[in-house]
Chains A and B, each alone.
Chain A
């Protein structure tokens, strides 16, 4: 029940296309859903995060869509660029808890 399931494992998108990564969770107590971006040899860096009181959050080319009833959330990268090539992790935690529960990660490759 503590798991966050992420798909796909890997994704190849053409430059300028839309990259979509999906996550699903079981624990309805989760109330904070961040997305992290990780480049090889680096630590995860917070990209964007959402709380369940909104269904969408947009920051630049990055959008989180959140579906509370389906217990799913997704990351959309518009106008994908080669510099977006990285591994993306969704995560979740509950109010009062400190640990982030991470998804399995998606390796995104943007072809020029």
Chain B
């Protein structure tokens, strides 16, 4: 069964460093998303991406964040200068069309020291 994959599974970084989280969405999906989940809290939407551009973003997704689809398979989330409060589990998701169910990857745990 096709699935969303994410790498790395755990990333440890120093405050102020740049990190890139990588995702491979399901191959025939057209919409891509990033969510985050701070430990013990709910899952929060960050951004959605369609047709090589951001289609929706939350107030969390400020100038420190960017997304890119550098090739036909990868979808990345970059955090330019990490803060302690960026420590969270980051989930990538994808869907065939906008109204359809979103399939989540296993997540990348980001720890900012």
A residues adjacent to B (C-beta < 8 A): 32, 34, 36, 41-46, 49, 89, 91, 95-105
Contacts and interface: CB of A to CB of B under 8 A. Distances in A.
Nearest to A45: B104
B74 interface: no
Interface residues of B, number: 25
13 contacts: A34-B101, A43-B4, A43-B91, A44-B104, A89-B42, A98-B55, A98-B56, A98-B98, A99-B45, A100-B35, A102-B44, A104-B42, A105-B43
B98 A43 contact: no
Nearest to A42: B106
Contacts, number: 54
Nearest to B95: A98
Interface of B: 4, 31, 33, 35, 41-45, 48, 50, 55-56, 58, 91, 93, 98-99, 101-107
Contacts of B105: 43
A49 B101 contact: yes
